C-alpha cells in the first residue's frame, strides 16, 4: 500500500471509529438535555459546546496536558498498563471524537426536541419502560436529525487539524491524517502530493455527503 | 368501578383544578366547555401530570397520595388513555401501533387479545397500513384498539367523537358501546357535547373552571 493510501485509510478509519465511539454518549446526552431540567444544566451545555468555539489548537493543548505521560489520565495509562496515548493513533481518535462531539450533540438534541413528548407519554401509559420508549419512539422519530449529526461529526473528524496536530503530532504511518499530510506536503513544496491528497479529500467529502443525501431521501420515501 | 378523586388540587394557567369526588359508574361521562380542565383531569389520572395535592385510587390500587409521597408511574397504572389527538405513533403501521402495549396472554385477559380487539373494532383490513393512510374514523378505532390491547383496568376517552361529522359519529358510537359490552372495562368519557355520552353512561358530571359543579341527572335515551 502506498503511503498516500495508508493516509486515506487511516483518516477514514479514525474518523469512522471516533464517530462510532461518541455516538452512544452524544445521543444519550442529547436526549437528557432535550428532555430534563436540572441545576447545573447550562454548565454541561457550555462544556459540551466549548470545543466548537475554542481554537482547535487550544483544545489540543488541553488534551495534550491531560493525556501526556505526565498528565492526570496519560500517567495512569502509562504506569498501570504501559500504554501511551499522546502521539499515538489513540490520541488521533480522542482528538477527532472531542472535536466532533458538540456537532453530534447539537444536531441530535434539536432532533429530540422536535419529537412531540406526547408520543413518549402515551408509550409510558401503554406500559413501556424508559429504554423501550427511547429505542422504539424517541430515537426512531429523531433518526433523521441524529443521522445528520453523525454525518456532520464524521465530516468534522475527516477535516480535523488543530487539535490532532497538538496531541498526536504528524508522524508518518502512525498519526498522519489527510489534513496533516496535505499541510506538510505544501510546506515541503511537494505540490503533486498536496494536490493528490486534495483530490482524495474532495472525493471523500463528496462521497460522504452524497451517500447521506441518498440515505435521507430513502428513509423519507420509506416513511411517506 | 370505584375511582376515587379526592382532595385534588392542580394549578392550571387560569384557574386550579379542585376536585373531590368518587366515580362509581361503569361508564361515567364528564361534560364541560373546552378549557374547563377535563383533559388535565384525565392526564392526572393517567399519571402524566403532578398534582399539588391528590389522593387518586382505582378500586384497591393507589395511584397518588401526595400526603404520603405516593405517585405510581404511568406505566404501572394499567390505564388505557385515548387522548383527543390520538397520538398514534407515526412511524409504525396500524398493527404495530395496536400491539405496542400488548401484554402476554393470560386466561383472564383473553377478551383483550389482539385478534379479538381487531375483530370487534373491524380493523382487519387496515392492519398493514401506515397511520398517514388512515381516515379520521379509522385512526380513532386504531387508538381505541391500542388502548384495549394493553388490558387496561380503566379506559380514559378524551372527546372520542369530537371533530367528526355526524355520519362518522354515528359510525363510531356503536364501537364505543361494543367496547363497553364486550370488554366490560370501566370508562371515563370526557366531552364538551352534553348530548354525546348521556345516553349510555350510567353517571354524568359537569365540569366548569376546574370544578365538578353538578351531577347531571341520569337520562335514558
Q: What is the pLDDT of residues A133-154, one digit of tens each?
A: 999 999 999 998 898 899 889 9
- Is pLDDT above 50 for B69? yes
How far, in Å, CA of B96 to CA of B90, rounded? Answer: 10
Neighbours of A55 (CB within 10 A): 11
* Choice among B6-10, B96-100, B211-215 with the minimum mean pLDDT: B211-215
The percent of residues above 90 in pLDDT, for chain B, comes to 51
Question: pLDDT at residue B58 above 70?
Answer: yes
* Alpha-carbon distances, residue A18 vs A4, A26, B109 (angstroms): 21, 12, 49
Q: Is pLDDT above 60 for B107?
A: no
Digit-coded pLDDT (tens) for B79-91: 999 999 999 999 9
- Write down the pLDDT at residue B220: 45
- Closest CB from B79, B90, B132 relative to A125: B79
Residue A121: its chain B contacts at CB < 8 A? 48, 74, 87
Do A107 and A146 contact (CB within 8 A), yes or no?
A: yes
From the list A118, A136, A224, the residue facing B87 with the nearest CB is A118
| CB-side neighbour CA atoms (13 Å) of A57 | 0
The residue to which cell 406505566 is assigned: B75
Q: Cβ distance B163 to B196 under 8 Å?
A: no
What would you report as the CA-atom Rg of chain B, rounded to the nearest whole angstrom?
17
A83 touching B, CB under 8 A? no
pLDDT at B221: 43
* pLDDT score, position B136: 86
Q: Are A99 and A90 in contact (CB under 8 A)?
A: no
Whether A122 and B87 lie within 8 Å, measured CB to CB: yes
A12: Cα separation from own chain's centroid: 12
Q: What is the largest CA-CA distance in chain A?
A: 67
Of all residues in chain A, the percent with pLDDT exceeding 70 is 97
Per-residue pLDDT, A89: 92
Give the mutation candidate from A115, A127, A134, A220 for the B interface (greatest B CB count, under 10 A): A127
Instruction: Scan for cell 458538540, then name that residue.
Output: A102
The minimal CB distance from A119 to the residues B46, B87, B132 is found for: B87
**What cell was used for A184?**
506538510
Residues of chain A with pLDDT under 70: 1, 219-224
Cβ atoms B8, B52 nearer than 8 A: no
Question: Residue B93 pLDDT > 90, yes or no?
Answer: yes
Averaged pLDDT for residues B201-213 = 87
Distance from CA of B218 to the nearest CA of A (A): 31
Contacts of A116 in chain B (CB under 8 A): 87
Chain B residues with at least one Cβ partner in A under 8 Å? 46-48, 73-75, 77-81, 83, 85, 87, 89-91, 100-101, 103, 132, 146-147, 150
Closest by Cα among B13, A30, A45, B48 to B56: B48
Write out the three cell numbers for A182: 496535505
Helix (H) / strand (E) element for A218: namely helix A191-223
A128 at B interface, C-beta within 8 A: yes
Rounded to a whole number of angstroms, the distance from the CA of B76 to the nearest CA of chain A is 6
pLDDT computed for residue B184 by the predictor: 85
Name the residue among B81, B89, B132 with its Cβ closest to that of A125: B81
B147: nearest CA in chain A?
Answer: A126
Task: Please state whether A51 falls in left (phi above 0), alpha (psi between -120 and 50) or beta.
Answer: alpha
**Other beta carbons less than 10 A from residue A54's beta carbon:** 16
Per-residue confidence at B110, pLDDT binned at 50, 70, 90?
A: low
Supply the DSSP symbol for A82: -
> What are the CA-CA distances from residue A20 to residues A93, A180, B74, B94 (Å)?
11, 22, 34, 33
Of B46, B85, B89, the CB nearest to A125: B46
C-alpha–C-alpha distance, residues B182 and B28, integer Å: 17
**Disruptive mutation site among A126, A133, A220 for chain B (greatest number of B CBs within 10 Å):** A126
**Distance between B129 CA and the closest CA of chain A, angstroms:** 12
* A137 touching chain B per CB within 8 A: yes
Q: How far is B65 from chain A (nearest CA, A)?
A: 19
- The answer to whether B190 touches B158, Cβ cutoff 8 Å, is yes
pLDDT in tens, B1-52: 899 999 999 998 889 999 999 998 888 989 888 888 999 999 999 999 999 9
In this structure, the number of other CB atoms found within 10 A of the CB of residue A83 comes to: 12
Residue B63: pLDDT over 60: yes
**CA-CA distance, B117 to B98, in Å (whole number)?**
9
Q: Is residue B182 classed as helix, strand or coil in its secondary structure?
A: helix
Give residue B119's pLDDT band: very low, low, confident or very high (50, 70, 90).
Answer: confident
Question: Are the beta carbons of A122 and B73 separated by less than 8 Å?
Answer: no
Order of strands across the sheet that contains B53-58: B70-71, B61-65, B53-58, B3-11, B16-23, B211-215, B203-208, B27-31, B187-191, B154-158, B79-82
Average pLDDT, chain B: 87
pLDDT of res. B218? 55
Question: Comparing B176 with A160, which gets the higher pLDDT?
Answer: A160
CA distance A116 to chain B (A): 9
- How do residues B126-155 score in pLDDT, each as one tens digit? 999 999 999 888 999 999 999 999 989 999
What is the value of pTM for the model shown?
0.85
What are the helix (H) ranges across B59-203?
94-99, 114-120, 136-149, 166-183, 194-198
Contacts (Cβ under 8 Å, ≥6 apart) of A129: B75
Amino acid at each position: 500500500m502506498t503511503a498516500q493510501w495508508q493516509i486515506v485509510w487511516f483518516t477514514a478509519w479514525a474518523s469512522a471509529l471516533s464517530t462510532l465511539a461518541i455516538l452512544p454518549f452524544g445521543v444519550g446526552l442529547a436526549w437528557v438535555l432535550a428532555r430534563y431540567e436540572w441545576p447545573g444544566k447550562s454548565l454541561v451545555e457550555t462544556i459540551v459546546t466549548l470545543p466548537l468555539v475554542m481554537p482547535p489548537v487550544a483544545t489540543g493543548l488541553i488534551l495534550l496536558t491531560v493525556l501526556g505521560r505526565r498528565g492526570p489520565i496519560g500517567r495512569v495509562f502509562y504506569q498501570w498498563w504501559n500504554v501511551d496515548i499522546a502521539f499515538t493513533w489513540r490520541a488521533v481518535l480522542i482528538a477527532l471524537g472531542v472535536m466532533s462531539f458538540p456537532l453530534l450533540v447539537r444536531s441530535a438534541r434539536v432532533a429530540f426536541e422536535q419529537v412531540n413528548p406526547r408520543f413518549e407519554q402515551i408509550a409510558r401509559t401503554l406500559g413501556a419502560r424508559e429504554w423501550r420508549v427511547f429505542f422504539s419512539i424517541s430515537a426512531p422519530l429523531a433518526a433523521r436529525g441524529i443521522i445528520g449529526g453523525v454525518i456532520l461529526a464524521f465530516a468534522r473528524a475527516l477535516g480535523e487539524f488543530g487539535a490532532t496536530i497538538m496531541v498526536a503530532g504528524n508522524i508518518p504511518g502512525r498519526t498522519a491524517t489527510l489534513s496533516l499530510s496535505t499541510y506538510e506536503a505544501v510546506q515541503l513544496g511537494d505540490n503533486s502530493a498536496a494536490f493528490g491528497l486534495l483530490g482524495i479529500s474532495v472525493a471523500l467529502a463528496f462521497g460522504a455527503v452524497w451517500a447521506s443525501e441518498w440515505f435521507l431521501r430513502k428513509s423519507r420515501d420509506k416513511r411517506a | 368501578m370505584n375511582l376515587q378523586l379526592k382532595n385534588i388540587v392542580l394549578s392550571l394557567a387560569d384557574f386550579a383544578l379542585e376536585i373531590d369526588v368518587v366515580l362509581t359508574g361503569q361508564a361515567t361521562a364528564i361534560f364541560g366547555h373546552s378549557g374547563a380542565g377535563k383533559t388535565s383531569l384525565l392526564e392526572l389520572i393517567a399519571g402524566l401530570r403532578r398534582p399539588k395535592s391528590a389522593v387518586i385510587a382505582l378500586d384497591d390500587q393507589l395511584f397518588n397520595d401526595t400526603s404520603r409521597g405516593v405517585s405510581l408511574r404511568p406505566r404501572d397504572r394499567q390505564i388505557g388513555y385515548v387522548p383527543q389527538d390520538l397520538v398514534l405513533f407515526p412511524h409504525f403501521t396500524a398493527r404495530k401501533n395496536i400491539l405496542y402495549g400488548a401484554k402476554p396472554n393470560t386466561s383472564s385477559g383473553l377478551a383483550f387479545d389482539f385478534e379479538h380487539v381487531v375483530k370487534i373494532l373491524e380493523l382487519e383490513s387496515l392492519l398493514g397500513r401506515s397511520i398517514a393512510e388512515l381516515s379520521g374514523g379509522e385512526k380513532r378505532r386504531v387508538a381505541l384498539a391500542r388502548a384495549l390491547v394493553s388490558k387496561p383496568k380503566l379506559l380514559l376517552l378524551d372527546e372520542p367523537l369530537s371533530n367528526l361529522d355526524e355520519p362518522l359519529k354515528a359510525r363510531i358510537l356503536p364501537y364505543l358501546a361494543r367496547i363497553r359490552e364486550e370488554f366490560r372495562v370501566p370508562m371515563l368519557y370526557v366531552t364538551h357535547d352534553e348530548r354525546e355520552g348521556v345516553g349510555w353512561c350510567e353517571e354524568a358530571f359537569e365540569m366548569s373552571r376546574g370544578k365538578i359543579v353538578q351531577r347531571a341527572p341520569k337520562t335514558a335515551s
